[in-house]
Amino acid sequence: MSRLLTICVAFVMGATFSQPLRAHEVLPTIGQLSTSEGTLTLNLRLNAEALIAGIDLDGLSDTNTSDKSDTYDELRMLEPGVLSDRIRQDWPQISQGLAVLADGTPVSLTLREIEVAEVGNVELARPSRVILTGLMPAATQIVQLVWPEGHGTLALRQVGVENGFTGYLEGGETSTDIRVTGGDAQSGWQAFVSYIPVGFDHILPKGLDHILFVLGLFFLSPALRPLLWQVSAFTLAHTVTLALGALGWVNVPASIVEPLIAASIAYVAIENIFATNLHRWRPVVVFAFGLLHGLGFASVLQQFGLPQGQLIPALLGFNIGVELGQLTVIALAFLAVGAWFRHKSWYRPGIAIPASAVIACVGLYWAVERTFL
């Protein structure tokens, strides 16, 4: 009876606290920089509604955590023509701090084109595209891009030249020198190192669903061996599908992957409630779920893109970043409860079961939401 009561209480808690966790994930801005016959073109795919609303995207993983999220939600429901007019009207404010330097001299940028997608699922971000152009001196050798504070992550690529620049900027940062003739592509080591934080960031702080899954593995048993078996199976599986998905060899729609990821969270958490030890089939099930999570990681990596000349180093760096994020989650959970209470007689009924029940409820809520919304 006490176990049933715990589950019921947790269901209410999960249904209540999962409401703010709906999918308002912040997407990076994708930029393409090109120069041709004295004309510089900057093509940006960005989250215009968030910028119009004045949301600070630096370090933000979910727009629901902003006090301006209501304005953001209203903007996402605007028809394309209306939002396009709003972008043009607010562009001086949005673009404040955005600059391109040609051999150290600012280039005057003009907003040439705006593309806004049709209103779709308002629970998901709607990327818009803006195209900026500017004239630069014919003898320009080096350009730099200054990315404004509050605009979040920019994945910048130089196109139209061989071995063009590829890099990431956070709000307030300035790119390194970019030669207009190309040749600034990352080395294998640079690509490897630069993609580690991208992978880590997708776990902490942005990967709440993956965090809950890893915590579900953690709460099965306080013993180290069951955790190692599960984490090993999960890591091996998501490494396989991450590589296949990121390279474009496997493509499963997010409408299928995301509900199944949510269901996997619920499954491991529910099993924690009724199982006290690592069953023979649990690593196999975790491996299968790891395949799904790998496809989720791959979709994120596809948003950022992979440098064409350094696919493998970038992929390895991203995967290591993911692993470091998962290990950090486990370490924090261990320091918070495992190190102090795992040998107490009340650890399982007092901590592991209630925590697993809440995780299960959130997973079930997401599974329903992602399936029907």
Look at 58-67, 109-118, 142-151, 240-249 and tell me which has the smallest mean pLDDT: 58-67
CA distance 56 to 80: 23
Where do we find the tokens 């902490």? 204
pLDDT of 184 higher than 90: no
Residues in Cβ contact with 128 at an 8 Å cutoff, skipping those fewer than 6 apart: 45, 46, 47, 48, 49, 83, 84, 87, 114, 115, 116, 117
Helix/strand/coil for 220: coil
| pTM (predicted TM-score) | 0.71
**Could you read off the pLDDT of 194-213 as tens digits, one per residue?**
889 888 988 888 788 899 99
Q: How confident is the model at residue 121 (pLDDT cuts 50, 70, 90)?
A: low
What's the mean pLDDT in 303-324? 82
**Could you read off the pLDDT of 248-278 as tens digits, one per residue?**
888 888 888 989 999 999 999 999 999 888 7
In Å, how far are 219, 295, 309 from 249, measured between CA atoms?
A: 34, 11, 18
Locate the DSSP E strands across the chain: 29-36, 39-46, 99-102, 105-106, 110-116, 128-135, 142-146, 154-158, 166-169, 178-179
**Could you read off the pLDDT of 142-155 as tens digits, one per residue?**
999 999 999 998 98
Edge-to-edge strand order for the sheet containing 128-135?
110-116, 128-135, 39-46, 29-36, 154-158, 166-169
Where do we find the tokens 């370090």? 59
Q: What's the DSSP call for residue 141?
A: -
Average pLDDT across the chain, whole number: 85
**Could you read off the pLDDT of 1-55 as tens digits, one per residue?**
344 434 444 443 443 344 333 436 677 899 999 998 889 999 999 999 999 999 9
Q: How many CB atoms lie within 10 A of CB 144?
A: 15
Instruction: Give the residue extent of every domain in the chain.
Output: 29-185, 192-372
Contact 237, 290 (CB under 8 A): yes
The larger pLDDT score, comparing residue 47 to residue 125, is at 47
pLDDT of 174 higher than 90: yes
